[in-house]
Chain A
Amino acid sequence: MSIQVKNVSKSFGSFQALKDISVDIESGELIALLGPSGSGKTTLLRILAGLEGLDEGAIYFDGENITNVSPKERKVGFVFQHYALFRHMTVFENVAYGLKVRPRKTRPSKQEIAKKVNELLELVKLQNFQDRYPSQLSGGQRQRVALARALAVEPKVLLLDEPFGALDAKVRKELRRWLRQLHNEFHVTSIFVTHDQEEALDVADRIIVMNNGKIEQIGTPDEVYENPKSPFVYDFLGNVNIFRGRLQNGKLRQGQFEISAPNYLDSHDEAVGYVRPHDIQIEKEKVDNETVAAKITFIHIVGPTVQIELKREDNGEFLEAELTKEHYKNLEIQKGDIVYVRPKQLKVFIPEDFSI
């Protein structure tokens, strides 16, 4: 089912959670709502489910205005952040609930319900746990029950609020891969909320980046990562090094130090350059003015990558570089060395109404 959000605004008292949000989501997409806490992503999700009202705007499912349709009628599967399993019901009863509470006319028979529940429990690998209560399950198991329960009603839209937030790193990774697989299989339009950029980049077809109740950018993971539209998106999607300076003849200059910015030949503004740690090259000799001297303050070896913290010799700002272990070994650098840092892949933002 396709979803259209048109000019939706929502306030809680004096706090404006959503400011004039509009999004189009196509049928069968897997969307990540990404943003820091307080950015309005959960509010938007709850509005889509009908669990929260909106002040202005409208929501359309398949072109039909459902703004005033009750959550009960929306045919939406909602997976809550802390699962919200019915604590006094067994796993089986939890999954069966959505079918059991249907009006008599549309309610499947007991056997049909049991068959459906067993299928779903098999899908989430919990068929041996059907008589357990939620309190007897681990976090990952509870999450899977919550998912099976939401899928039981054959929703047209699946909404997941921080689905993997409370799980440990390993279970989390397994589950999100599995969610991706599941989505490839069922093609139900799915939207999940997350504050973890890695999760969003890994799983989603498209990412909606939110900040302060507004949408910063919508795009595929690749688009959003490679071409962030704003400093916020750039910053939020990964670690970042900041170079301030003035644009001059297609270069971002800062004293002697200059970085080429070929897209800004005509600009002469104050600007801020953003560089990802893995786009920072470390050299041992000064070859040209496109490098800046820095002292290595720390070296972390994290599995196959090496993170290097540096302090610029000229203005004392800290930089972060990321190398492969092999590259690091070839460089033969150690803590305390003075090296020359060359930013490749500079992304320039000219400050207008934003501040960093």
Chain B
Amino acid sequence: MTKPLEVKQEVPVVTRTTSNSYSLKESATVKWSLITISFLYISLFLILPLISIFVTAFEKGWETYVASIVHPDALAAIKLTITVALIVVPLNAIFGIVAAWLITKFSFKGKNLLITLIDLPFAVSPVIAGLIFILLFGAQGLFGEWLFEHDIKIVFALPGIILATLFVTFPFIARELIPLMQTQGVTEEEASISLGASGLKTFLYVTLPNIKWGLLYGLILCNARAIGEFGAVSVVSGHIRGLTNTMPLHIEILYNEYQFTAAFAVASIMSVLAIITIIIKNIVSWKAKDV
């Protein structure tokens, strides 16, 4: 055997991450006035409205609140919203991983075009996104006649809502993964391959664990947007009660019919979902920092 190497204890490499720089320390007055302003601002524009949602929701008592939620139309809206999210989020997760993998691990022609296209839904107004699907699949649309002949319903039905939501939410996961995978580079994958691992094993054992927190973060954002999307879905849904109304659409209808309590009751459920999302998101980003 080769004589084991004589090694002195070496100090692990420490990287400075928090900005505890002495030179950046402000005076106490500046610090506290900034904190006060921030909190006042947040209270006025975020916390106050949030409280008012719950106050209005419970204005006419617990029974009315429950009745508004268990109303068949409300339940149908909740069910539809969850269905859409359950279909859209996994699809976008697959697309996001594939796109991020393609963009960061390979070089090919048209890569920049693909990156730009991924950002497109951020740039296009959701209403226009909805209109695109009407123009394609609506009765007067490009494929309208063919779809009618084959008795396939896309617009004013679940497929249309899913398509519109997919379109609006597809950048979230890819956008979260691309910068992460770019900084991580390809050397760990190369190491894995040179050690004899197959592509699939490399993905499962090396790539996926490295991106899991970023992926989860993207899933949460994507999910939040899928549940809350209004504009695009509003155009393609057709507002059929109990059939094609998602939660945000249902809230709007109730509000337009002056059923404030019912509207705010459903809104309170969405708010609770949003708060839970934020909490999970924070746990995830806090966990991700540890790794």
Contact = CB atoms under 8 A, between A and B. Distances in A.
Interface residues of B, number: 28
A49 B194 contact: yes
DSSP class of B's interface residues: helix, strand, loop or mixed? loop
Contacts of B11: 138
Interface stretch (A30-38, A122-130, A272-280, A293-301): A122-130
B206 A174 contact: no
- B2, B190, B191: which has the most chain A beta carbons within 10 Å? B191
A101 B5 contact: no
Given A82-B187, A137-B12, A138-B13, A175 B5 contact: yes
A323 to B, nearest CB: 33
A101 B194 contact: no
Interface in A115-143: 122-125, 135-141
B4 A171 contact: no
Nearest to B208: A88
Contacts of A144: 5
A72 B194 CA distance: 5
A84 B197 contact: no
Interface in B273-291: 291
Contacts of B2: 123, 178, 181-182, 184-186
B288 to A, nearest CB: 12
Contacts of A87: 188, 210, 291
B5 A124 contact: yes
Interface string B200-215: 0100011001100000
Interface string B1-33: 111111100111100000000000000000000
A77 B5 contact: no
Contact of A80 (B3, B4, B6, B190): B190
A98 B196 contact: yes
A10 interface: no
B104 interface: no
Contacts of A80: 187, 190-191
A97 B197 contact: yes
A138 B12 CA distance: 4
Contacts of A102: 196
A72 B196 contact: yes
A98 B10 contact: no
Contacts of A265: none
Interface in A231-257: none
A234 B27 CA distance: 61
B195 A101 contact: yes
Contacts of A178: 2, 5
Contact of B210 (A88, A138, A139, A174): A88
Contacts of A23: none
Interface residues of A, number: 48
A125 B187 contact: no
B259 interface: no
Contacts of A85: 188, 191
B83 interface: no
A182 B291 CA distance: 34
Contacts of A47: none
A254 B199 CA distance: 65
A141 B10 contact: yes
Contacts of A82: 187
Interface string A66-82: 00001111111110101
Contacts of A138: 10-13
A84 B187 contact: yes
B1 A123 contact: yes
A153 B193 CA distance: 12
Contacts of B198: 72, 101
A70 B192 CA distance: 13
B156 to A, nearest CB: 47
A50 B13 CA distance: 32
Given A139-B13, A174-B6, 18 more contacts: A70-B193, A71-B194, A72-B196, A72-B197, A78-B194, A80-B187, A82-B187, A84-B190, A87-B291, A97-B205, A98-B195, A98-B196, A101-B198, A137-B12, A138-B13, A141-B7, A152-B195, A186-B2
12 contacts: A51-B190, A70-B193, A71-B193, A75-B196, A80-B191, A86-B192, A88-B291, A125-B6, A138-B12, A140-B10, A141-B10, A185-B2
